[in-house]
Amino acid sequence: MHQDQIINKLVDKKIITISPDKPFTYASGMLSPIYTDLRLTVSYPDLRDWIASDLAGLIKEKYPDVSVIGGVATAGIPHAAWVADKLNLPMIYVRPKPKDHGKGKQIEGLFNNNDQIVLIDDLITTGGSVINAVKATEKEGGNVIGVSSIFTYYLKDTKANFAQAKVDYSPLLTYPELLQKEKEMKYITSTEYEALKTWHEDPWEWGKKFQ
Ligand SMILES: O=P(O)(O)OC[C@H]1O[C@H](OP(=O)(O)OP(=O)(O)O)[C@H](O)[C@@H]1O
Ligand SMILES: O=C(O)c1cc(=O)[nH]c(=O)[nH]1
């Protein structure tokens, strides 16, 4: 496992940025003092290889019968490709909605009803994007046995959303682990640590002060 190396590089290359006074807006509409731009990981061969190795190991351990790896568009796709390569498995990817031209497909690549599919997104906040991808895959007859991601904020909402959707979820790195490591490594001050913890306890409430 390369957890420390991954966290060091995410911080060092400013893939994780903190801005408590000018918050970021997430895909769900949530406001946040922290943004993790995992799209940048594709530019660092060492980092993307640590991620692919650790994700491949985690997926094989949690889902030993996996037979197809799926990427959630767009940021999940390259990581799914590298993991599928490491595990020597077929790959698919899932768009947010069907194409409005060409073959009109939402899922690209092949699977059958006997396949055990694991979907990968780069990052999970509410889980809305990946759960949408699970539902789209199941609508096409696919059997999704679990989902994984490089990172998750692990909000209370996230856990509830996965439980409600009955989707099994195994992330590589969680926000509480990241915060703890950042504090230990002195990447953030105690004040920043407390502020980031407060956001995590109730992010929707935290965002109200900017409305
Ligand atoms: O768990 P959620 O609340 O759905 O948020 C996480 C999603 O948001 C981001 O994607 P974005 O919508 O920015 O699109 P992209 O992957 O095309 O960059 C990220 O890559 C996840 O897919
Ligand atoms: O929830 C999101 O949209 C989101 C959060 C984040 O930190 N990074 C990102 O790319 N998306």
Q: pLDDT (tens digit, 9 = 90+) per residue, 135-183?
A: 999 999 999 999 999 999 999 989 999 999 999 999 999 999 999 999 9
- The closest of 34, 112, 127 to 76, measured between CA atoms, is 127
> What is residue 109's predicted lDDT score, i.e. its pLDDT?
98
Distance from Cα 124 to the centre of ligand 2, integer Å: 8
Provide the residue range defining the domain that includes 183.
Answer: 3-210
What is the value of ipTM here, to two decimals?
A: 0.98
pTM, 2 dp:
0.97
In total, how many domains does the chain have? 1
Q: Please check the confidence at residue 52 and state whether its pLDDT lies above 90.
A: yes
Sheet of 144-152: strand order equals 107-108, 91-94, 68-72, 117-124, 144-152, 169-174
- The closest of 126, 200, 122 to 165, measured between CA atoms, is 126
The span from the CA of 210 to the CA of 45, in Å, is 38
Distance from Cα 26 to the centre of ligand 2, integer Å: 5
The span from the CA of 142 to the CA of 135, in Å, is 9
The span from the CA of 104 to the CA of 204, in Å, is 36
User: Which two tokens mark 110?
Assistant: 């092949």
CA angle, corner 146, sides to 142 and 151, nearest 5?
A: 130
- Cβ burial of 69 (10 Å; 0-12, 13-18, 19+) is buried
Backbone torsion region of residue 104, taken as left when φ is above 0, otherwise alpha when ψ lies between -120 and 50, otherwise beta:
left
Residue the block writes with tokens 């990241």 = 178
Residue the block writes with tokens 């109200």 = 208
Report the nearest atom of ligand 2 relative to the CA of 36. Answer: 7
The predicted-structure confidence for 79-136, as pLDDT tens digits, reads as follows: 999 999 999 999 999 999 999 999 999 999 999 999 999 999 999 999 999 999 999 9
Q: What is the CATH number of the domain that holds 78?
A: 3.40.50.2020
Report the nearest atom of ligand 1 relative to the CA of 28. Answer: 3
From 37, 121, 130, 152, mutation site for ligand 1 pocket: most ligand atoms within 8 A of C-beta: 121
Report the nearest atom of ligand 1 relative to the CA of 129. Answer: 4
The fraction of the chain above a pLDDT of 70, given in percent, is 100
